[in-house]
Amino acid sequence: MHPRVQEQIHAIIRTSGVRPRRVLEVGGVIGPDSLLRCAELEGAARYCLNLVPMTSEDGITAVKGNANDMRRFADESFDLVLSNATLEHDRRFWLSVAEMHRVLAPGGLLVIGVPGYVRDPERDHGRATHTYRVHYRFDYYRFSEQACREVFFDGFDDVVVEPILEPPRLIGHGVKPPGARRRLRRGLRSVMQRTAPLEADRHRADAHGVRQRRHPEG
């Protein structure tokens, strides 16, 4: 994590006035780059979710799991949810965003950082816009400011999205309003209904591909 990104997110927490009892970092790490290592969070119960197993330390609880399905955490059980440099690696990022919304309590703060692209007259070349390089084997997405505002923070209050660094990283934050839970559940059901047929087709295609590889002559 670039130090400026960590500094920016910690500044957002500090100036928000939110002093949470329970905090979740999605796709985070336990070491020095953890967003949970912030003076304002030292008294909170801190959880760090990642696909790979990690060792809990310094008051941070490591949780192995997929952010697409965080049902191990109850609805509205966190006052602060953080995620940085994760959604671009998440093939179904919209499910993770929906889960972040679900586990966040009304009045809670959501902070998300992603690599993105912005209009930059000094660096744009014709219709080409500069963005962060492909930097990892599973690197699916780059996001616009509009996507951050209208997708990540759909229905949230006091939304702010700012680019920092070059190439740009987008850091957004917003507050979950009362009544957002019902809207989110309807939206999540709609997403699941739309993606279920696509997932079924993908699994059939994958199975067909496996059969072809195992039996190239058949």
89: β partners: none
Q: Give residue 209's pLDDT band: very low, low, confident or very high (50, 70, 90).
A: very low
Distance (Å, rounded) from C-alpha 116 to C-alpha 118? 7
Per residue in 95-137, pLDDT tens?
Answer: 999 999 999 999 999 999 999 886 766 665 667 777 767 787 8
Q: Check residue 170 and give its pLDDT.
A: 95
Q: Give residue 215's pLDDT band: very low, low, confident or very high (50, 70, 90).
A: very low
Contact, 47 vs 63, CB < 8 A?
Answer: yes
Per residue in 73-90, pLDDT tens?
Answer: 999 999 999 999 999 999
Contact, 117 vs 142, CB < 8 A?
Answer: yes
- For residue 93, give the amino acid letter: F
Nearest to 166, CA basis, from 40, 2, 32: 2
Which is higher by pLDDT, 185 or 56? 56
Per-residue pLDDT for 203 more than 50?
no
* Residue 161: other Cβ atoms inside 10 A: 22
**Residues in CB range of 94: below 8 A, 6 or more apart:** 151, 191
State the alpha helices, DSSP H only, in 72-131.
93-103
- Determine what percent of the chain is predicted with pLDDT higher than 90: 66
pTM above 0.95, yes or no: no
Contact, 40 vs 33, CB < 8 A?
Answer: no
